């Protein structure tokens, strides 16, 4: 079993739909949770960053973390064709030592928003 | 445009060549990273530099040699690579170990 599980999709939705992307994880040491968006032939772009459990909103994006269930989500409201990309969840235990800055990624979900 | 700049964008090299990948950030971040990404896969960590010192080497073959000349620059020296080393090489930086990583757009490397 992978440490982080993410459905690779692909996911296809019409423009304006609400998109829900999810990851589950098994390592209870994870404290920092991130969502990245990656367009073809580009590097991952940080979308959301949260610490511990709770919700965070930024424009059309909302990130949720439920540490008790080891489950994180990213919601995209009013989705646009420009949101078409691969979305990667990532998490880390932070702190120092051998886990310093070490992100564990999900496999990525390919999202297509069609006009 | 990202705040982490990588050059070159594309690189084709033979198995006997020596080349270097370069990365620069001006965000004042104290940690810098090299990741390798194969097609349709997530990035895989190769090296971590913290305060210009190598802190993590994820058992990367010695044909990859990282260097951190100062807090803003990170290099990856390549020598005697194999075709299976063809991938997107990503540089990233972060304020510290608890902060999110900011990635560059990578160098797409092809080994012939």
Averaged confidence pLDDT in chain A = 92
Q: What is the mean pLDDT of residues A67-74?
A: 96
Q: Give me the residues of chain B with pLDDT under 70, please.
A: 1-2, 97-98
- C-beta atoms of A96 and B31 within 8 A: no
Quick check: B89 contacting A, CB < 8 Å? no
Element (H, E) at B103: strand B102-103
Separation in Å, CA of B54 to nearest CA in chain A? 11
Alpha helices, DSSP H only, in A28-101? none
The pLDDT-based confidence of A100 (bands split at 50, 70, 90) is: low
8 Å CB contact between B47 and B66: yes
A32, A43, A108 member nearest B103 (Cβ) = A43
Q: What is the pLDDT of residue A9?
A: 87
- C-beta atoms of A103 and B97 within 8 A: no
- C-beta atoms of B97 and A96 within 8 A: yes
Residue A90 has pLDDT above 80, yes or no: yes
Using a CB-CB cut-off of 8 Å, the residues of chain B touching A46 are 100-103
Residue A98 has pLDDT above 90, yes or no: no
Tokens 């580009």 appear where? A42
The pLDDT-based confidence of A95 (bands split at 50, 70, 90) is: low
Q: What is the pLDDT of residue B91?
A: 97
Separation in Å, CA of A5 to nearest CA in chain B? 12
The pLDDT-based confidence of A99 (bands split at 50, 70, 90) is: low
Q: What is the pLDDT of residue B47?
A: 95
Q: What is the pLDDT of residue A2?
A: 84
- C-beta atoms of B101 and A106 within 8 A: no
Q: What is the pLDDT of residue A93?
A: 85
Quick check: A41 contacting B, CB < 8 Å? yes
Torsion of CA B35, B39, B41, B47, to 10 degrees: -10
**Rounded-to-integer distance, Cα B112 and Cα B93, Å:** 30
Q: What is the pLDDT of residue B97?
A: 65
- C-beta atoms of A43 and B50 within 8 A: no
Strand residues in A1-115 grouped as ranges (E): 4-6, 11-14, 19-25, 32-38, 45-51, 54-58, 61-66, 71-76, 85-92, 104-105, 109-114
B41, B101, B108 member nearest A103 (Cβ) = B101
Q: What percent of chain A has pLDDT over 70?
A: 94
Using a CB-CB cut-off of 8 Å, the residues of chain A touching B40 are 108
Interface of A with B in 52-91 (CB under 8 A): 88, 90
Neighbours of A59 (CB within 10 A): 9
Q: What is the CA radius of gyration of chain B?
A: 13
Residue A23 has pLDDT above 60, yes or no: yes
Phi (first) and psi of residue B93, to 5 degrees: -140, 160
pLDDT tens digit string along A35-67?
Answer: 999 999 999 999 999 988 889 999 999 999 999
């Amino acid at each position: 079993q992978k440490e982080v599980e993410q459905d690779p999709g692909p996911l296809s939705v019409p423009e304006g739909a609400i998109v829900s992307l999810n990851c589950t994880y098994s390592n209870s040491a994870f404290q920092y949770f991130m969502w990245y968006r990656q367009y073809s032939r580009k590097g991952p772009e940080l979308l959301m960053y949260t610490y511990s459990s709770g919700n965070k909103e930024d424009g059309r994006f909302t990130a949720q973390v439920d540490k008790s269930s080891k489950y994180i989500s990213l919601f995209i409201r009013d989705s646009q064709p420009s949101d078409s990309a691969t979305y990667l969840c990532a998490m880390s235990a932070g702190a120092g030592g051998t886990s310093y800055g070490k992100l564990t990624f999900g496999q990525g979900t390919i999202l297509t928003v069609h006009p | 445009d990202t705040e982490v700049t990588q050059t070159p964008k594309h690189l084709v090299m033979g198995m006997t060549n020596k080349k270097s990948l370069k990365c620069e950030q001006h965000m004042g971040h104290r940690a810098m990273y090299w990741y390798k990404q194969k097609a349709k896969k997530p990035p895989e960590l190769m090296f971590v530099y913290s305060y210009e010192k190598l802190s993590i080497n994820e058992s990367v073959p010695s044909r990859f040699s990282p260097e951190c000349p100062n807090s803003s620059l990170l290099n990856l020296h390549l020598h005697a690579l194999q075709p299976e080393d063809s991938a997107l090489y990503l540089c990233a930086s972060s304020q510290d170990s608890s902060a999110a990583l900011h990635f560059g757009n990578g160098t797409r490397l092809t080994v012939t």
